[in-house]
Amino acid sequence: MKVLGVDPGLTRCGVGVVLRRSHQDLEMLGVGVIQTSSELALELRLLELERQLMSWINEHNPDVIAVERVFSQLNVKTAMATAQAAGVALLIAARSGIPVAMHTPTEVKAAVTGSGRADKKQVATMVQNILKLESIPKPVDSTDALALAICHLWRGTGDARLTQAVEREKKRLKALAR
C-alpha cells in the first residue's frame, strides 16, 4: 500500500509518500514541501497548491491520501489557512477517486512515537528511525507529512479492518435473526 501524507498549510504544505512492503518494512518514496507566496491572491495560492498536489498524485499514484485533521487553534487565521489547504487535498482526492483518511495530530504522534503528547523533535526522530533515513527531512512540515502516512499505514488500515469486521458481524446477526 502506498500512502500520500499531506500536512496541510497555505504557505507550506508538507507532502510525503510512504510504501508499505510489510508491517515493519516501510519505505519513503518521496518527501517535500509545497510553498505558495503570501503575496499571491488566495485563489491563486489554492490553485498552485492544487497543481502541485496533482503532480505528486500523478507521479506516485497513491492508494490513499492521509490528511491531518484540522482542529481549532488559538490563531483563527492559521486555522482557516490550514482548513483551506486541507479542503484542496480532499477535493483532489475525491476528484481522483482516491480514498481519504484523516488523522488528528494526537493520533499521529501516538502512532509514530507511542505518546500522543510527543513533541515535534520526538516525532521527527521516530520518522527517521522508522523509515531508516540518514537524516531528518526538513522543514518539519515534510516530516509531519511522512508521520501522517506512517500513522495511516499502521493505524488506519487496522481501523478500517475493524470497521469491516463489525459490519460483517452485524449483517451475520441480522441474517440469523430472520
For the segment 52-73, what is each residue's pLDDT rounded down to a tens digit? 999 999 999 999 999 999 876 6
pLDDT > 80? residue 170: no
pLDDT (0 to 100) of residue 82: 92
* 168-to-163, 164, 176 alpha-carbon distances in Å: 9, 6, 12
pLDDT digits (tens, 9 = 90+) for 107-163: 999 999 999 999 999 999 999 999 999 999 999 999 999 999 999 999 875 555 555
User: Would the pTM of this model clear 0.85, i.e. be above it?
Assistant: yes
Q: Spell out a b/e string for 40-71, using b for 16 or more CB atoms within 10 Å of the CB, else e.
A: eeeeebbebbbebbeebbeebebebbbbbebe
132: left (phi over 0), alpha (psi -120 to 50) or beta: left
Q: Do 28 and 133 contact (CB within 8 A), yes or no?
A: yes
Its CATH architecture, for the domain 2-177, is: 2-Layer Sandwich (3.30)
Say how many Å lie between the first and final Cα of the chain, rounded: 39
- Kindly list the domain boundaries of the chain, sorted by start residue: 2-177
The residues, ordered by sequence, that sit 6+ positions from 93 with a Cβ below 8 Å of its Cβ are 65, 67, 99, 100
Among residues 64, 81, 61, the alpha carbon closest in space to that of 73 is found at: 81
Nearest alpha carbon to residue 143 among 20, 52, 14: 14
Can you give the pLDDT at residue 159?
56
When pLDDT is averaged across residues 26-54 and rounded to a whole number, the result is 97
Answer whether 17's CB lies under 8 Å from 60's CB. yes
Q: What is the total residue count of the chain? A: 178
Residue 166: partners with Cβ closer than 8 Å, 6 or more residues away: none
Integer CA distances (angstroms), 102 to 4, 6, 21, in order: 12, 10, 22
Return phi, psi of residue 132, to 5°: 55, 50
| Catalytic residue annotation | 7, 68, 141
pLDDT greater than 60 at residue 31? yes
